């Protein structure tokens, strides 16, 4: 199975639903808040990576149109 940005979106909404549980209190609420912070941190890195790949593809497309090459590390493929 391959993870997608759609999967990430589903995980983020599931986390939001867990945080919205009005029955959570005390240590359970604190644990869920800590979990949400961890999920948010990982999600931010996934989004940043996706943005970098998208930008590198845009750059590659622009450079191909200009008949120049881009550094291999920016190819994103």
List, for residues 35-58, the tens digit of each pLDDT value. 999 999 999 999 998 889 888 888
Do 59 and 76 touch, CB atoms closer than 8 A? no
Closest CA to 5 of 36, 39, 47: 47
The predicted-structure confidence for 13-30, as pLDDT tens digits, reads as follows: 999 999 999 999 999 999
How far is it, in rounded angstroms, from Cα 77 to Cα 72?
9
């Amino acid at each position: 199975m391959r993870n997608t940005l759609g999967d990430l979106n589903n995980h983020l909404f599931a986390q939001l639903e867990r945080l919205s549980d009005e029955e959570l209190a005390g240590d359970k609420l604190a644990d869920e808040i800590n979990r949400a912070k961890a999920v948010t941190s990982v999600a931010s890195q996934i989004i940043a990576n996706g943005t970098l790949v998208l930008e590198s593809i845009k750059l590659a497309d622009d450079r191909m149109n200009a008949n120049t090459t881009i550094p291999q590390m920016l190819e994103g493929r």
